[in-house]
């Protein structure tokens, strides 16, 4: 990841955006904007330079998959894990129209989604994969709903793919064709429009 390395050596995303915001024009501004765009492309992120971020952000696992709305406000000393979205709600008929405002010293866990005109207080922890569309007071922890366990007698996790002469699945590295005609017919039945034809495996 060449651009990630370059950006880190120059002080990270926040340091680069400070240079971009400081200079109205010039070669240095253009070069740093290019590096930020390259970092976005390299890590599948969106990291604007025109919103308000009050202090450095700790991207603890890099900027992979992180989306920050241009309308968002982020406080000082926040830690953001991978795959986080801090997004705007732009539906004009919605009560949540707007962008998040995040306080100081917040931790936002992997995969969390903060959306709309909400206020996240200081010293808040947002757990992994939590979806937050409501205000959160200072010094609170927000966690995602606990996953439900459903016990079954027997589960067979065969993931079917279309081979050259029919449907099958991989087992121990080998592609095995399904011998049950009822299963073959069922799989072909959901494939009436041939949506899987371009994904055939070398069975």
Q: What is the mean pLDDT of the chain?
A: 90
Highest mean pLDDT among 15-24, 59-68, 190-199: 59-68
Q: Which of 78, 13, 19 is nearest to 47 (CA)?
A: 13
Residue ranges and CATH numbers for the domains of the chain are 1-43 (no CATH), 53-145 (2.160.10.10), 161-199 (no CATH)
Are 131 and 84 in contact by the 8 Å Cβ rule? The answer is no
Answer yes or no: is pLDDT of 106 > 50: yes
Extract the tokens encoding 75. 């406080």
Question: What DSSP character marks residue 140?
Answer: -
What percent of the chain is predicted at pLDDT more than 70? 94
Give the predicted TM-score (pTM) of the model.
0.78
């Amino acid at each position: 990841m060449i651009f990630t390395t370059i950006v880190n050596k120059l002080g990270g995303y926040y340091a680069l955006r400070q240079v971009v915001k400081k200079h109205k024009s010039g070669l240095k501004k253009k070069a740093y904007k290019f590096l930020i765009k390259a970092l976005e492309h390299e890590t599948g992120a969106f990291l604007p330079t025109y919103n308000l971020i009050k202090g450095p952000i700790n991207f603890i696992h890099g900027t992979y998959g992180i989306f920050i709305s241009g309308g968002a406000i982020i406080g000082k000393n926040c830690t953001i894990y991978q795959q986080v979205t801090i997004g705007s709600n732009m539906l004009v008929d919605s009560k949540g129209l707007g962008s998040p405002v995040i306080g100081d010293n917040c931790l936002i866990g992997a995969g969390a989604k903060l959306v709309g005109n909400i206020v996240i207080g200081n010293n808040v922890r947002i757990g992994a994969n939590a979806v937050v569309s409501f205000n959160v007071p200072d010094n609170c922890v927000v966690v995602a709903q606990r996953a439900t366990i459903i016990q079954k007698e027997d589960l067979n996790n065969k993931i079917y793919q279309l081979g050259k002469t029919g449907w099958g699945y991989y087992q121990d590295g080998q592609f095995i064709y399904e011998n049950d005609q009822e299963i073959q017919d069922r799989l072909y039945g959901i494939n009436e429009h041939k949506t899987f034809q371009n994904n055939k495996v070398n069975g």
